[in-house]
Structure 1
Amino acid sequence: MIHIHSPILRSSHSLAQSPRHLDPLIGFGSMAKLAVLLLLAVAASATALAHGRELPTQIKLIRGADAGALGGDSMECVYTVYIRTGSIWKAGTDANITLELAAADGNGVGISDLPSWGGLMEQGHSYFERGNLDIFSGRGPCMAKAPCRMRVASDGTGPHHGWYCNYVEVTVTGPHKGCAQRLFTVEQWLATDAPPYKLEAVVNNCAGAGAAAA
């Protein structure tokens, strides 16, 4: 795993607990922040290649009913993911968290190990702990359309398997593509001992999402 030190990323802990309303048009400040994250992701990939290591394989294509609508399996797009863990008691977890993103046609990407794929927090950071805003960014296959469906899941392992997720925010961009930003509000336990007694949460915003390209 590649750890990147950045005071910009550490400052993310000061962000508000509740997500703000997202405007479809990303402001200059958001674009500047995204540009920094993209540079960090590219730098991490370049470092791995320079040391003879393969790029992470924790991200893969998910094929829906219309597999012809996939954007291709080349790792040309960059995904930036913000995940907020709740501040309530025992909200954090030691379990492995996976993420799936899909368009209305079912095509998308799945990330099996978020920290190994693109964890950007400081060295020694414990991901998915209570009150955390964890940031991940890395390369992956391009989606032909912007994601509108999100599935986040826990494998239920570790001393404390339960996890309370506030939200997942995703930004996707690539060559000759726009910059798509999506907010998926979860506000749910992923646990077997707390309602709704599931280790997954699915947020489907595809109805009326349109066919905007990623």
Structure 2
Amino acid sequence: MCIADQVSAALILVFLAVVAASVRGDENECVYTVYVRTGSMIKGGTDSKIGISLQDASGKGIVVSDLESWGGLMGSEHDYFERGALDVFSGRGPCGLSPPLCKLNLTSDGAGAHHGWYCEYVEVTTTGPHVPCSQTLFYVRQWLATDAPPYQLYASVDGCAELPGGYDHNRRLVIGDSSASM
């Protein structure tokens, strides 16, 4: 199955999850869809577990310690976080966050034969019953590794202080430098 087909299948699953949440009447949970682009450079992929935390401007957030087990949508045989790959995850979390999400923290457990990982970007879409859809693109462009600068197993991107006044829910929020490269 090609990546376009996998992403299409993932989007259908997200839609079905939103419908299921609406039918069930669970108004305290939203659907979070996370797209992660791994860098295409040599040794850019990893076998480590990758976690994510997301926050709104008030500091409320959601923490996922292992994206793959939380909501990996690429199939049971898929090898996540490989060089040049776009991986899709979707799961449920609290609806109490105020859009847009403006702070991201990525973590690696540093385990596995290839612990180093280069993340290009993370894009997050949230939606739920009686909640406007929100989309944020975080440009990370950093190694999470102990043997490559900045020699740490986490990366943070915080755009909360720079939020535009009168945020338009119909537009994707972009945080980080889209033109930067390694």
TM interval, short-chain normalised: 0.7 to 0.9
Show the counterpart of 2:78. 125
Indicate whether 1:172 and 2:110 are aligned: no
Indicate whether 1:157 and 2:111 are aligned: yes
User: In the alignment, is the contact (CA less than 8 A) between 1:74 and 1:141 conserved in 2?
Assistant: no
CA offsets, 1:44-71, max 9 Å, x none? 99xxxxxxxxxxxxxxxxxxxxxxxxxx
TM normalised by structure 2 equals 0.79
SS in 1 for 2:68: helix
Show the counterpart of 1:11. 4
Show the counterpart of 1:85. 38
Show the counterpart of 2:176. none
**Following TM superposition, by how much is the alpha carbon of 1:36 offset from its aligned partner in structure 2, in angstroms?**
2.4
**Following TM superposition, by how much is the alpha carbon of 1:40 offset from its aligned partner in structure 2, in angstroms?**
4.3
Tell me the distance in 2 between the aligned counterparts of 1:199 and 1:81.
Answer: 19
Indicate whether 1:36 and 2:12 are aligned: yes
Report the AA paired with residue 179 of structure 1: C
Gaps in structure 2 of 5+ consecutive residues: 170-182
User: In the alignment, is the contact (CA less than 8 A) between 1:12 and 1:133 conserved in 2?
Assistant: no
Distance 1:43 1:174, change over 3 A: closer
Report the AA paired with residue 91 of structure 1: G
Show the counterpart of 1:183. 137
The structure 2 residue matched to 1:76, chosen from 11, 29, 34, is 29
Tell me the distance in 1 between the aligned counterparts of 2:72 and 2:30.
Answer: 17
Percent identity over paired residues: 56
**Following TM superposition, by how much is the alpha carbon of 1:34 offset from its aligned partner in structure 2, in angstroms?**
8.7
The structure 1 residue matched to 2:58, chosen from 105, 119, 132, is 105
Tell me the distance in 2 between the aligned counterparts of 1:213 and 1:139.
Answer: 24
Runs of 4+ in 1 over 3 A off after TM superposition: 32-35, 40-45, 210-214
Show the counterpart of 1:49. none
Pick which of 163-172 and 75-84 moved more.
75-84
CA-atom RMSD in angstroms: 2.9
